[in-house]
Amino acid sequence: MVVDQLDSDEVDRLFAALADPTRRDIVARVLTHETSVSVLAERYAMSFAAVQKHVAVLERAGLVSKRPHGRERLVRGDVDAIRAAARLLDQYEEIWRARIGRIEDILAAPAEGDSR
């Protein structure tokens, strides 16, 4: 199947990054508020290292990016990776619709020898 923009490894990383509730929550949060790793650690009652690890997984998947801010690193969400994943899922929907379309054509077509 055609995957526009993302290669297969990138898609693997993207879906694997989304397969965790804390990481999904972090993405939703940093899409609206650029947030430091230490504030995230507080928010999720996790060690700084544990959040850093989640953020690294999200960063490799292209779902967030970091920028230095004083002695901190601010994390922000990137909607493009989300969109790429959504487009990919839409392709499955299209594959499925194409099949349903064919089935409907078959059902709509007059059966051979259907003149009785």
Binding site for a second copy (CB under 8 A): 1, 8, 11-16, 18-21, 24-25, 27-28, 31-32, 77, 79, 82-83, 85-86, 89-93, 95-96, 98-99
Would you say 28 or 48 has its CB closer to a second copy? 28
Report, in Å, the least distance between residue 17 CB and a second copy.
Answer: 8
Q: In what order do the strands lie in the sheet with 35-36?
A: 35-36, 72-77, 64-69
Report, in Å, the least distance between residue 7 CB and a second copy.
Answer: 10
Sign, Cα dihedral of 47, 50, 54, 60:
positive
- Residue tagged 């929907």 (tokens): 93
First to last CA, the chain: 43
Would you say 12 or 48 has its CB closer to a second copy? 12
Indicate left, alpha or beta for 75 from its phi (over 0: left) and psi (-120 to 50: alpha): beta
Would you say 13 or 66 has its CB closer to a second copy? 13
